[in-house]
Amino acid sequence: GPSTVQTCVREVSYAVVLLLKPLYLRLPNEKELENMVRIFRTRWGFPHCIGALDSLHIPIHPPLRLSADYCNGQGWHSILTQATVDGLGQFWDVSTAFPGSMENSAVLESSSLWVLAKEGRLCPNPPKHFMGKAQKYVLLGDATYPLQDWILKPYQEDENLTQRQLQFNYRLKRAHSVIENAFLRLKARWQILLKCDDCSLELLPTLVLACCILHNVCEAHDNPFNEEWLEGAEPTELPKPCQPPPAAMEDGRAEQVRELMCQYFESCGE
């Protein structure tokens, strides 16, 4: 019956996380980071980058007493997962089970990724040089993330953007699509994530983490992916909440990093 299925899902999820997480979802070492930079540069045309950052809202039915906490900006209930992928679309950092009412910037600040970045563990010490300057490796986010010297996001579209800024936005959005595609493939393979009605809130973090790990296992071993699965994943995608970060989280120095990137793309002549 249903309780037997839930027990099986629980046991498999915990086993996957316990046994496979150390192998398939962990912080890259310095040599692996260098390889990730190379892949983002060659595959996506974006330099000095180790990952694309985004969030995934997973629809749930929370207990009535928690309804407000899990109601997101679009008016539906969800848990929020923050994830970072490499240039091959494999997850290397996942923080999950945040209530859907939280904004991406607040989730980021509460996540282990924020701590790692602030401790300088996402780049070599001292940082590698880029365009003649010592510069931390960067992650690519969308407009919901704060601009940092290690997180880049597009220039606001409503500004009078220069040609080089438009080029930067194009390059960033193209490279950022790697995580959008990873989320699609994740949901297509593990369609339990399309609606976690039958899962307890206590199990959900482990279940989501297990699905991300199994995604990496499949991608790393080139397991066949049936494109027809995407048909099941895409139509159920509800409008994603999109709340810009508070101005206080923005790092003024990061504007110089965006400018360096603009110079780089201009010098490429592509």
Per-residue pLDDT at 51: 99
pLDDT confidence bin for 97, thresholds 50/70/90: confident
Tokens (6 digits) for 129: 């040089």
pLDDT cut 70: percent of the chain above it: 95
Which of 193, 163, 185 is CA-nearest to residue 59?
193
Model confidence at 240: pLDDT above 90: no
Question: Of 65-69, 125-129, 140-144, 240-244, which range is least confident?
Answer: 240-244
Model confidence at 238: pLDDT above 60: no
> Residue 55's beta-bridge partner residues?
82
Per-residue pLDDT at 3: 76
pLDDT cut 90: percent of the chain above it: 78
Which of 167, 222, 220, 162 is CA-nearest to residue 46?
167
Per-residue pLDDT at 236: 46
Query: Dihedral of the CA atoms 202, 3, 231, 42 (nearest 10)?
Result: 40
Q: What is the mean pLDDT of residues 50-77?
A: 94
- Domain containing 10 equals 2-268
Residue 216: phi, psi to the nearest 5? -65, -40
Tens-place pLDDT, residues 119-157? 999 999 899 999 999 999 999 999 999 999 999 999 998
Per-residue pLDDT at 249: 79
Q: How far apart (Å, rounded) are the C-alpha atoms in residues 125 and 178?
A: 27
Q: How far apart (Å, rounded) are the C-alpha atoms in residues 174 and 168?
A: 10
The structure tokens 């002549």 sit at: 269
pLDDT confidence bin for 158, thresholds 50/70/90: confident
Model confidence at 202: pLDDT above 80: yes
Q: What is the mean pLDDT of residues 108-121?
A: 96
Question: Of 3-7, 88-92, 121-125, which range is least confident?
Answer: 3-7
Model confidence at 173: pLDDT above 70: yes
Model confidence at 56: pLDDT above 50: yes
Residue 84 · residue 53 · CB < 8 Å: yes
From the number of C-beta atoms within 10 Å of its C-beta (0-12, 13-18, 19+), residue 191 rates as middle
Per-residue pLDDT at 5: 76
The structure tokens 């994943």 sit at: 233
DSSP-assigned letters across all residues of 87-116: TTS-EEEEEEEEETTS-HHHHHHHSHHHHH
Q: How far apart (Å, rounded) are the C-alpha atoms in residues 250 and 141?
A: 13
Per the structure, how many domains does the chain have?
Answer: 1
Which of 159 and 50 is assigned the larger pLDDT? 50
Q: How far apart (Å, rounded) are the C-alpha atoms in residues 269 and 25?
A: 37
Model confidence at 44: pLDDT above 50: yes
Cα–Cα distance list, 76 to 55, 143, 242 (Å): 16, 21, 13
